[in-house]
Amino acid sequence: MERIILLCMVSTCVSAVHAQKFLFSPKWGPIGYKAREEAEDGTAMDKIIKANEFQASRVIDGTTTLREGDIAVTSGRRSKVCFARSCLWSKSVDGHVYIAYKLSEDYTDLETKVIKKGMENIEKGTCVRFVPRTHQRDYVDIQPKSGCWSYLGARGGKQTVSLQSPDCLQVGVIAHEFMHALGFVHEQSRFDRDNYVTIMWPNIWRDRLRNFEKFRTESLDLPYDYGSIMHFGKFAYSQDGQPTIIPKNSKDIKLGQASSLSHIDKLKINKLYQCGDTDDY
Protein backbone atom coordinates (compact mmCIF):
# COMPACT_ATOMS: atom_id res chain seq x y z
CA MET A 1 0.00 0.00 0.00
CA GLU A 2 2.84 2.38 0.91
CA ARG A 3 4.49 1.63 -2.45
CA ILE A 4 1.28 2.53 -4.29
CA ILE A 5 1.02 5.83 -2.39
CA LEU A 6 4.69 6.60 -3.15
CA LEU A 7 4.19 5.87 -6.85
CA CYS A 8 1.15 8.17 -6.90
CA MET A 9 3.15 10.92 -5.25
CA VAL A 10 5.98 10.58 -7.79
CA SER A 11 3.46 10.55 -10.65
CA THR A 12 1.85 13.72 -9.29
CA CYS A 13 5.21 15.49 -9.02
CA VAL A 14 6.18 14.52 -12.56
CA SER A 15 2.82 15.75 -13.85
CA ALA A 16 3.29 19.03 -12.01
CA VAL A 17 6.73 19.50 -13.60
CA HIS A 18 5.34 18.85 -17.07
CA ALA A 19 2.44 21.22 -16.38
CA GLN A 20 4.87 23.93 -15.28
CA LYS A 21 6.95 23.49 -18.44
CA PHE A 22 3.76 23.65 -20.50
CA LEU A 23 2.50 26.81 -18.82
CA PHE A 24 5.80 28.66 -19.05
CA SER A 25 7.00 27.53 -22.45
CA PRO A 26 7.35 30.33 -25.03
CA LYS A 27 4.62 28.70 -27.08
CA TRP A 28 2.01 28.43 -24.36
CA GLY A 29 3.04 30.67 -21.48
CA PRO A 30 3.35 34.43 -21.01
CA ILE A 31 4.19 35.87 -24.41
CA GLY A 32 7.85 36.74 -24.84
CA TYR A 33 8.75 35.08 -21.52
CA LYS A 34 11.67 33.06 -22.89
CA ALA A 35 13.04 35.89 -25.02
CA ARG A 36 13.06 38.37 -22.17
CA GLU A 37 14.61 35.95 -19.71
CA GLU A 38 17.47 35.27 -22.12
CA ALA A 39 18.08 38.92 -22.97
CA GLU A 40 20.81 40.53 -20.88
CA ASP A 41 20.00 44.13 -21.77
CA GLY A 42 16.21 44.23 -21.81
CA THR A 43 14.30 47.43 -22.47
CA ALA A 44 11.75 49.19 -20.30
CA MET A 45 9.03 47.74 -22.53
CA ASP A 46 10.43 44.22 -22.07
CA LYS A 47 9.95 44.63 -18.32
CA ILE A 48 6.44 45.97 -18.86
CA ILE A 49 5.51 43.04 -21.09
CA LYS A 50 6.81 40.60 -18.51
CA ALA A 51 4.73 42.22 -15.77
CA ASN A 52 1.56 42.57 -17.83
CA GLU A 53 1.56 39.23 -19.63
CA PHE A 54 1.38 37.28 -16.37
CA GLN A 55 -2.10 38.70 -15.90
CA ALA A 56 -4.86 36.30 -16.79
CA SER A 57 -6.49 38.92 -18.98
CA ARG A 58 -5.62 42.22 -20.61
CA VAL A 59 -8.97 43.57 -19.43
CA ILE A 60 -8.35 46.04 -16.59
CA ASP A 61 -12.02 46.26 -15.68
CA GLY A 62 -15.33 45.86 -17.43
CA THR A 63 -14.81 48.74 -19.87
CA THR A 64 -11.03 49.24 -20.01
CA THR A 65 -8.53 47.15 -21.95
CA LEU A 66 -4.84 47.42 -22.84
CA ARG A 67 -3.69 48.27 -26.35
CA GLU A 68 -0.10 47.67 -27.47
CA GLY A 69 0.57 45.99 -24.15
CA ASP A 70 0.29 48.94 -21.76
CA ILE A 71 -1.94 51.74 -23.13
CA ALA A 72 -5.31 51.82 -21.35
CA VAL A 73 -8.32 52.32 -23.62
CA THR A 74 -11.84 52.78 -22.27
CA SER A 75 -14.90 52.06 -24.35
CA GLY A 76 -17.87 54.41 -24.31
CA ARG A 77 -18.10 58.11 -23.62
CA ARG A 78 -14.39 58.76 -23.00
CA SER A 79 -12.96 56.40 -25.58
CA LYS A 80 -11.54 58.99 -27.98
CA VAL A 81 -8.05 58.21 -29.18
CA CYS A 82 -5.46 60.81 -28.27
CA PHE A 83 -2.48 61.25 -30.54
CA ALA A 84 0.02 64.07 -30.15
CA ARG A 85 -1.67 67.48 -29.95
CA SER A 86 -5.22 66.24 -29.41
CA CYS A 87 -4.87 65.61 -25.65
CA LEU A 88 -2.20 67.86 -24.23
CA TRP A 89 -1.77 68.94 -20.63
CA SER A 90 -2.09 72.67 -20.23
CA LYS A 91 1.00 74.87 -20.23
CA SER A 92 1.53 77.50 -17.54
CA VAL A 93 2.30 81.15 -18.25
CA ASP A 94 5.85 80.52 -17.04
CA GLY A 95 6.39 78.08 -19.92
CA HIS A 96 6.30 74.89 -17.86
CA VAL A 97 3.81 72.04 -18.09
CA TYR A 98 2.77 71.21 -14.55
CA ILE A 99 1.28 67.75 -14.08
CA ALA A 100 -0.39 67.22 -10.73
CA TYR A 101 -0.17 63.77 -9.23
CA LYS A 102 -1.58 61.85 -6.29
CA LEU A 103 0.49 58.97 -4.97
CA SER A 104 -1.12 55.94 -3.34
CA GLU A 105 -0.43 55.54 0.37
CA ASP A 106 0.19 51.85 -0.28
CA TYR A 107 3.68 52.62 -1.58
CA THR A 108 6.56 52.47 0.88
CA ASP A 109 8.96 55.37 1.33
CA LEU A 110 11.55 53.56 -0.81
CA GLU A 111 9.01 52.89 -3.56
CA THR A 112 7.93 56.52 -3.49
CA LYS A 113 11.55 57.59 -4.01
CA VAL A 114 11.83 55.34 -7.07
CA ILE A 115 8.63 56.77 -8.57
CA LYS A 116 9.93 60.28 -8.05
CA LYS A 117 13.19 59.33 -9.78
CA GLY A 118 11.08 58.27 -12.76
CA MET A 119 9.44 61.70 -12.71
CA GLU A 120 12.84 63.39 -12.52
CA ASN A 121 13.86 61.38 -15.58
CA ILE A 122 11.05 63.12 -17.48
CA GLU A 123 11.75 66.55 -15.98
CA LYS A 124 15.48 66.68 -16.71
CA GLY A 125 15.97 68.57 -19.97
CA THR A 126 12.26 69.20 -20.55
CA CYS A 127 9.66 71.75 -19.47
CA VAL A 128 7.52 69.15 -17.68
CA ARG A 129 7.21 69.38 -13.91
CA PHE A 130 5.38 66.94 -11.64
CA VAL A 131 3.75 68.52 -8.59
CA PRO A 132 1.74 66.96 -5.73
CA ARG A 133 -1.97 67.57 -6.26
CA THR A 134 -3.63 70.19 -4.13
CA HIS A 135 -6.71 71.57 -5.91
CA GLN A 136 -6.07 70.71 -9.57
CA ARG A 137 -8.97 69.21 -11.49
CA ASP A 138 -6.76 67.26 -13.90
CA TYR A 139 -4.22 64.91 -12.34
CA VAL A 140 -2.66 61.46 -12.49
CA ASP A 141 -3.56 59.01 -9.76
CA ILE A 142 -0.59 56.67 -9.31
CA GLN A 143 -1.72 53.31 -7.98
CA PRO A 144 -0.12 49.86 -7.46
CA LYS A 145 -2.80 48.13 -9.51
CA SER A 146 -2.24 45.00 -11.59
CA GLY A 147 0.51 45.62 -14.15
CA CYS A 148 2.18 48.69 -15.65
CA TRP A 149 -0.09 50.89 -17.76
CA SER A 150 -1.32 54.40 -18.46
CA TYR A 151 -3.94 56.22 -20.47
CA LEU A 152 -2.75 58.20 -23.47
CA GLY A 153 -2.50 61.96 -23.03
CA ALA A 154 -4.59 64.18 -20.75
CA ARG A 155 -8.13 62.83 -20.38
CA GLY A 156 -9.52 65.45 -18.01
CA GLY A 157 -10.13 64.86 -14.32
CA LYS A 158 -8.50 61.96 -12.51
CA GLN A 159 -6.66 59.39 -14.61
CA THR A 160 -4.86 56.33 -13.35
CA VAL A 161 -1.25 55.37 -13.94
CA SER A 162 -0.72 51.83 -12.69
CA LEU A 163 2.71 50.96 -11.28
CA GLN A 164 2.45 47.56 -9.70
CA SER A 165 4.90 46.80 -6.92
CA PRO A 166 7.55 45.56 -7.32
CA ASP A 167 7.46 44.64 -11.04
CA CYS A 168 6.83 48.15 -12.40
CA LEU A 169 8.90 50.12 -9.92
CA GLN A 170 11.92 50.68 -12.11
CA VAL A 171 12.93 54.14 -13.29
CA GLY A 172 12.73 53.31 -17.01
CA VAL A 173 9.33 51.65 -16.70
CA ILE A 174 7.97 54.60 -14.72
CA ALA A 175 9.30 57.10 -17.28
CA HIS A 176 7.79 55.02 -20.10
CA GLU A 177 4.32 55.12 -18.54
CA PHE A 178 4.53 58.85 -17.87
CA MET A 179 5.49 59.36 -21.53
CA HIS A 180 2.19 57.70 -22.43
CA ALA A 181 0.40 60.03 -20.01
CA LEU A 182 2.04 62.97 -21.79
CA GLY A 183 0.56 61.75 -25.08
CA PHE A 184 3.24 59.60 -26.72
CA VAL A 185 2.67 56.19 -28.30
CA HIS A 186 5.33 53.56 -28.92
CA GLU A 187 8.02 54.57 -31.38
CA GLN A 188 7.53 51.64 -33.75
CA SER A 189 3.86 52.66 -34.07
CA ARG A 190 4.94 55.61 -36.24
CA PHE A 191 3.35 55.53 -39.67
CA ASP A 192 6.78 55.67 -41.35
CA ARG A 193 8.30 52.89 -39.25
CA ASP A 194 8.62 50.48 -42.20
CA ASN A 195 11.35 52.72 -43.57
CA TYR A 196 13.44 51.97 -40.50
CA VAL A 197 12.50 48.56 -39.10
CA THR A 198 11.20 45.26 -40.39
CA ILE A 199 8.42 43.61 -38.38
CA MET A 200 8.95 39.84 -38.37
CA TRP A 201 5.27 38.89 -38.34
CA PRO A 202 5.78 35.07 -38.34
CA ASN A 203 7.73 35.34 -35.07
CA ILE A 204 5.01 37.24 -33.19
CA TRP A 205 2.49 35.42 -31.07
CA ARG A 206 -0.67 35.48 -33.16
CA ASP A 207 -2.94 37.06 -30.53
CA ARG A 208 -0.49 39.96 -30.08
CA LEU A 209 -0.18 40.97 -33.73
CA ARG A 210 -2.33 44.07 -33.10
CA ASN A 211 0.36 45.38 -30.76
CA PHE A 212 2.45 46.11 -33.88
CA GLU A 213 -0.10 48.26 -35.72
CA LYS A 214 0.90 51.62 -37.21
CA PHE A 215 -0.88 54.88 -36.47
CA ARG A 216 -0.88 58.27 -38.19
CA THR A 217 0.92 59.99 -35.37
CA GLU A 218 2.73 63.32 -35.38
CA SER A 219 6.46 62.75 -35.91
CA LEU A 220 7.20 66.36 -34.87
CA ASP A 221 9.77 66.49 -37.70
CA LEU A 222 12.16 64.45 -35.58
CA PRO A 223 14.10 61.41 -36.80
CA TYR A 224 13.05 57.85 -36.06
CA ASP A 225 14.47 57.00 -32.65
CA TYR A 226 15.74 53.42 -32.37
CA GLY A 227 16.89 54.20 -28.83
CA SER A 228 13.66 55.72 -27.54
CA ILE A 229 12.39 54.69 -24.11
CA MET A 230 9.13 54.13 -26.04
CA HIS A 231 10.53 51.59 -28.53
CA PHE A 232 9.72 47.89 -28.28
CA GLY A 233 12.71 45.63 -27.76
CA LYS A 234 14.03 43.33 -30.46
CA PHE A 235 12.22 40.27 -29.05
CA ALA A 236 8.94 41.87 -27.94
CA TYR A 237 6.08 39.34 -28.00
CA SER A 238 8.26 36.66 -29.60
CA GLN A 239 6.60 33.24 -29.69
CA ASP A 240 9.81 31.32 -30.40
CA GLY A 241 12.67 33.44 -29.05
CA GLN A 242 13.39 34.86 -32.50
CA PRO A 243 13.47 38.65 -33.20
CA THR A 244 10.16 40.37 -33.88
CA ILE A 245 11.70 43.74 -34.88
CA ILE A 246 14.87 44.14 -36.93
CA PRO A 247 16.43 47.52 -37.82
CA LYS A 248 16.83 48.03 -41.57
CA ASN A 249 20.08 49.98 -41.48
CA SER A 250 22.04 47.66 -39.23
CA LYS A 251 21.12 44.57 -37.27
CA ASP A 252 23.56 45.72 -34.58
CA ILE A 253 21.46 48.79 -33.65
CA LYS A 254 20.05 48.40 -30.14
CA LEU A 255 16.34 48.99 -29.88
CA GLY A 256 14.83 50.81 -26.91
CA GLN A 257 16.14 51.96 -23.56
CA ALA A 258 16.13 50.29 -20.18
CA SER A 259 16.40 53.15 -17.75
CA SER A 260 16.20 56.66 -19.21
CA LEU A 261 14.75 58.88 -21.91
CA SER A 262 16.81 59.28 -25.05
CA HIS A 263 17.95 62.68 -26.30
CA ILE A 264 15.20 62.60 -28.94
CA ASP A 265 12.58 61.64 -26.34
CA LYS A 266 13.32 64.90 -24.55
CA LEU A 267 13.17 66.83 -27.82
CA LYS A 268 9.76 65.27 -28.50
CA ILE A 269 8.35 66.53 -25.22
CA ASN A 270 9.57 70.08 -25.76
CA LYS A 271 8.41 70.21 -29.37
CA LEU A 272 5.00 68.72 -28.64
CA TYR A 273 4.38 71.17 -25.83
CA GLN A 274 6.13 74.03 -27.62
CA CYS A 275 8.24 74.89 -24.64
CA GLY A 276 11.92 75.38 -23.91
CA ASP A 277 14.68 75.87 -26.46
CA THR A 278 14.75 72.47 -28.11
CA ASP A 279 18.13 73.19 -29.66
CA ASP A 280 19.68 73.25 -26.20
CA TYR A 281 18.63 69.76 -25.16
* Annotated binding-site positions for Zn(2+): 176, 180, 186
Compute and round to an integer the Cα radius of gyration of the chain.
Answer: 21
Contact indicator for 61, 47 with CB cutoff of 8 Å: no
Q: Hey, which residues are catalytic here?
A: 177
Rounded (10°) CA dihedral 125, 107, 144, 91: -30
Contact indicator for 237, 49 with CB cutoff of 8 Å: yes
Q: What distance in Å separates the CA atoms of residue 61 and residue 272, rounded to the nearest whole number?
A: 31
Contact indicator for 141, 161 with CB cutoff of 8 Å: yes
Q: What distance in Å separates the CA atoms of residue 193 and residue 199, rounded to the nearest whole number?
A: 9
